[in-house]
Structure 1
Amino acid sequence: MRFLSWAYLGLMFLFILLPVLALVAFSFQDGRLPVPPLKGVTLEWYAKVLADRDLMAALWHSFLVAFGSSAMALLLGFLAASGLARAVLPGSALMRGLLIAPLTVSYLIIALGLLQVFNATGVRPSLFATGIGHVVINLPLCFSIIYAAMGEHQRSALRAARDLGAREWQVLALVSAPTLAPALAAAFFLSVTFSWDEFIIAFLLTRFEVTLPVEIWSMLRSGLSPATNAIGSLVFLVSVAILLALEFTLFRKSRP
């Protein structure tokens, strides 16, 4: 049974990671198409990707939008969760439902609605408009994670801090935020992940300053290329490096 369990686990990981392994392998393809067989190994496509100014600009735009919108969504979600967890207010269940509602709506509907609102208010398609759209889709996620992490012990600690004379900003910054650090980190990095991969909102709300998914889509319109595999491999490498850095620094320190 132990052998079957390990075999099943290995097959499951292989199934999950096989697309990534194929992506990385054919990013070194010494040919024009990233398809079998692997004709040879070359770093030409990585050199082209790193030398492409439009691609590097799109990469930087994705960083700005992902981290900026995630930070704003985290702040708003934290404040909303703290307010609704502090006391039971009339209609608090309705407020929580409205905050979580965007999770049930298609990104296409959200993007079209935001596009109409921006057109009516004179806001032009830009990275700023895309950032607002990503705050809209990430705020419910941050609120849900943080609110779920606020147990009775959290509420008791906040009440004790207020009874001892702490101001509201001190309660939030010095008591609530440190005790909710794992939930805050999880909400932030999940938001970064969703914002980084998001395409529909970025496609409809940007014009000239596009994000990386939009730039990759433009490249794919001209056909498959190992360059797109190289981009994916670089993004995957950066993601793994960030996760390993967090694992060996922040998360390890938080363990008892």
Structure 2
Amino acid sequence: MRMLGWLYMAAIFVFIFLPVIVLVLFSFQDSRLPVPPFDGPTLKWYGQVLADRGMMEALRNSLAVAIISAAVALLLGFFAAQGLARVKLPGSILMRGLLIAPMTVSYLIIALGLLTVFNNLGFRPSLWTTGIGHVVINLPLCFAILFAAMGDHQKNAERAARDLGASDLQVLFLVTAPMLKPALLAAFFLSVTFSWDEFIIAFLLTRFDVTLPVEIWSMLRSGLSPATNAIGSLVFLVSIVILILLELTVFRKSKT
């Protein structure tokens, strides 16, 4: 029975990681098609990708949109969670539901709605509109994580700080935020990861300055090549680095 459990776990990991392994393996393919048999290894496709100005520009765009939109979503989610957790307002349950509701809506619906709004307001598709779209999808995530992390012990610490003469802003940034540091970091890094990989909103809300997923899609329209595998491998590497940072800075501290 125990052996069956190990076999089942191994099958799950193979099912999850086999496509990634194949993607990375054929990024080192020496021929022009990422199909068996494997002919390599070579690093020429990575060199080609890194020397591509359009690709590097899309990479910088993705990083900028991901970091800035994640920071804005984190700040707004922090303020919303603090307000709804500490102040009893009429309809607060409804407000929490409305804040979390975008998590249950398809990204395609959100993107089409934002595109309609921006067109009516006269805003052209750009990286700024894409960043706003990523704030919309990441704000509910940040709010949910931070609201769940707020407890009575933090409320008591905030009350003590006010009794000692601290202002509301001092309590917020010198007491509440440090106590929520693991949750803040988790919300930020997860938002960066979601924004980094997001395609539908970025595709509909950009025009000339595009993000990396949109640039990859443009390359795929001309067919598969080891260069697209190399890009996918780099994207996967960035995601792994973010997860390692999360493990070292957030999850390990929360366990201890």
Report if TM-score (shorter chain) is over 0.5: yes
Which residue number corresponds to residue 190 of structure 1?
A: 190
Counterparts of 2:249 and 2:184 in 1: how far apart (Å)? Answer: 16
Q: Which sections of structure 2, spanning at least 5 residues, go unmatched?
A: none
Query: How many Å apart are 1:108 and its aligned residue?
Result: 1.3
Q: Following superposition of structure 1 onto structure 2, how do residues 51-62 of structure 1 map, counting pairs within 5 Å?
A: 51-62=51-62
Q: How many angstroms apart in 2 are the aligned matches of 1:52 and 1:91?
A: 53
Compute the TM-score of the two structures, normalised by the length of structure 1: 0.94
Deviation at 1:251, TM superposition (A): 4.8
Partner of 1:135: 135
1:207-222, aligned counterparts within 5 Å? 207-222=207-222
Q: Distance in 2 between matches of 1:9 and 1:140?
A: 32
1:3 CA displacement: 3.3
Q: Which residue of 2 aligns with 1:108?
A: 108
Shift of 1:248: 3.9
- Cα RMSD after superposing both structures: 1.6
What is the match of residue 44 of structure 1?
Answer: 44
Cα distance between partner residues in 2 of 1:254 and 1:152: 17
Query: 1:5-20 alignment to 2 at 5 Å?
Result: 5-20=5-20
- Please tell me the residue identity of whatever aligns with 2:63: F
Q: Tell me the CA shift for residue 40 of structure 1.
A: 2.4
Gaps in structure 1 of 5+ consecutive residues: none
Shift of 1:30: 1.3
Task: Quote the sequence identity (%).
Answer: 74
Q: How far apart in 1 are the matches of 2:96 and 2:158?
A: 20
Give the equivalent residue in structure 2 for 1:27: 27
- What's the CA shift string for 1:5-60, capped at 9, x where partnerless? 33332222222111110110000111111112212221111111011100010011
1:73 to 2:73 alignment: yes
The equivalent residue for 1:163 is: 163
Q: Which residue of structure 1 aligns with residue 83 of structure 2?
A: 83
Q: Distance in 2 between matches of 1:102 and 1:254?
A: 28
Equivalent residue number for residue 237 of structure 1: 237
SS of 2:219's partner is helix
Q: How far has the Cα of 1:163 moved from its partner?
A: 2.5
Aligned to 1:153: 153
State whether residues 142 and 188 of structure 1, in contact with CA within 8 Å, keep that contact through their aligned partners in structure 2: yes
Q: Give the C-alpha shift of residue 172 in structure 1.
A: 1.1
CA distance in 1, matches of 2:98, 2:159: 26
CA apart distance, 1:237? 1.9
Distance in 1 of aligned mates of 2:135 and 2:249: 28
1:252, distance to aligned residue in structure 2 (A): 4.2
Contact kept in structure 1, 2:193 and 2:242, CA below 8 Å:
no
Contact 2:185 2:246 (C-alpha < 8 Å) held by counterparts: no
Report the Cα distance in structure 1 between the residues aligned to 2:99 and 2:248, rounded to whole angstroms. 34
Write the distance in 2 (CA, Å) between the matches of 1:15 and 1:162: 53
Q: Paired residue for 1:224?
A: 224
TM-score normalised by length of structure 2: 0.94
Contact 1:85/1:155 (<8 A) preserved: no
The total of aligned residue pairs comes to 256
AA matched with 2:228: T
Contact 1:66-1:196 within 8 A present in 2 as well? yes
Tell me, in whole angstroms, the C-alpha distance in 2 between the residues paired with 1:118 and 1:111: 10
- CA contact under 8 A between 2:24 and 2:233: conserved in structure 1? yes
